[in-house]
Amino acid sequence: MQHRTQYISTRGGLAPTEFLDVLLSGLAPDGGLTVPADVPQVSAEVLESWRPLSYPELAAEVIGLYATDIPSADLRELTAAAYGPERFPAPVVPLRSLDDVAPGLGLVGLSEGPTMAFKDLAMQFLGQAIPYALARESRVLNILGATSGDTGSAAEHAFRGRPGVAVFMLSPQGRMSAVQRAQMYSLTDPNIHNLAVDGVFDDCQNLVKAINNDAAFKAEYSIGAVNSINVGRIAAQVVYYVWAWLRASDHLQADATSVPAAGTGVDSFRIDVAVPSGNFGNIYAGHLARTMGVPIRRLILATNENNVLDEFFSTGIYRPRSSEQTLATSSPSMDISKASNLERFIWALLGAEEFQRRWPELERTGVLDLSDERDRLREQFGFVSGTSTHADRLAAIRRVHTATGTPIDPHTADGVTVALRLMEPGVPTLVLETAKPDKFPETVAEALGAPQPVSTAVQQLLDADQHVVNIPCDPERLREIIGARALRR
């Protein structure tokens, strides 16, 4: 019998359930995050069987391990639509060598989608899967999300005009780049609602949690989520870790003239992956891929000056910061001081019973001291980390441009900075790209000493009229707006 992946809550108050149910629910009813009760496993033979697949085909196989309640034929249709040529040019996720920057360094191109950011890869899948799930049950969904830059535009472009779905997206006033704002606020689709909050991203995220914790309101207005708390996004993000390993190891396959000896073939080809991280969703997907059996040696976590995650993985102490302590940086999508998805990882680190005992310490004191687990973070789970600064970003952008002739965006530059600092000889190190540099022209111009050409498409986007409602950081005001504009069953 086929394995059925079931989901439970980190807080222990959710009976095991399946993918389509948690896809529409966002937070678990007890306020926790949904996690797979058992992470599905893949063997070297299965990985090898996936090598010839296109990205949409691979996505159906990988996501299918998590979405075991979606028939295989339906899932193949969903991924073919999500990653088809009208949304992504082939091969969907290109890999590029950065050997001229440092031997063994590579870049995983995750920003080929409609909003020029890695969030498209998960969101375009949700844009197909959520309407599919709603149609099966004759339901509607009002998506409530918070964005520090890229999630919002990716969600809105994935769901614009989609049946049975409305999107209410919170963004921090004045904390996003001009292109990020234009991608969101220029949309005129009647099911898209942009709300700019007087505060920082963490304030937006707190508003989302306040609404989700109001069970009666959430049920009445069919509130769901597509932030990285949505496990459907995490499942879709696992795909590109598998794809990146397959493509990085392709040269071994191409060069093989005989069956390799044990321990020397593609099944033992291990890589490090450097991930710019703010909310921990992207790199948590890497943790799942590694746990599944994908040969990832280390996950290199890169933060900007809001380095709460670096502090945790360096010391074992998780100390979220307040909105007032959250800095506005030149990699704004990572200006986050409370990483929502870290709860999922700490649950895996401690185990369910110990998590239930120790997690309340964070809510009670504002600090979770897991320094006694620090060695396991590296030795068992493969995490290392580092912090990048504005000066580091500028230097990384210059270095990559000098070596390749192509600029990178400031968040990717954070990843390159920390990768160069921590990579080890003989181990291929892949940096996950987060966005196209076109989205952050001021920082790229500062790094390279001159403005870069603006494409016609980006200029038209910047010139378009924008539509946004400014609101205070007030749950009651948000409830009023949702109540007036939400889709109803």
Residue 218 among the catalytic residues: no
CA angle 91, 95, 97 (to 5 degrees): 150
Token pair of 168, please? 């209410």
Residue 361 burial (10 A CB sphere; 0-12, 13-18, 19+)? middle
Tokens 């709860």, residue?
343
Q: For the chain, what is the HEC assignment?
A: CCCCCCEEECCCCCCCECHHHHHCCCCCCCCCCEEECCCCCCCHHHHHHHCCCCHHHHHHHHHHHHCCCCCHHHHHHHHHHHCCCCCCCCCCCCEEECCCCCCCEEEECCCCCCCCECHHHHHHHHHHHHHHHHHHHCCCEEEEEECCCHHHHHHHHHHCCCCCEEEEEEEECCCCCHHHHHHHHCCCCCCEEEEEECCCHHHHHHHHHHHHCCHHHHHHCCEECCCCCCHHHHHHHHHHHHHHHHHHCHHHHHHCCCCCCCCCCHHHCCEEEEEECCCCHHHHHHHHHHHHCCCEEEEEEEECCCCHHHHHHHHCEECCCCHHHCCCCCCHHHCCCCCCCHHHHHHHHHCHHHHHHHHHHHHHHCCEECHHHHHHHHHCCCEEEEECCHHHHHHHHHHHHHHHCCCCCHHHHHHHHHHHHHCCCCCCEEEECCECHHHCHHHHHHHHCCCCCCCHHHHHHHHCCCCCEEECCCHHHHHHHHHHHCCCC
Length of the chain: 489
Rounded Cα distance between 116 and 479, Å, is 31
Q: Which residues are catalytic?
A: 119
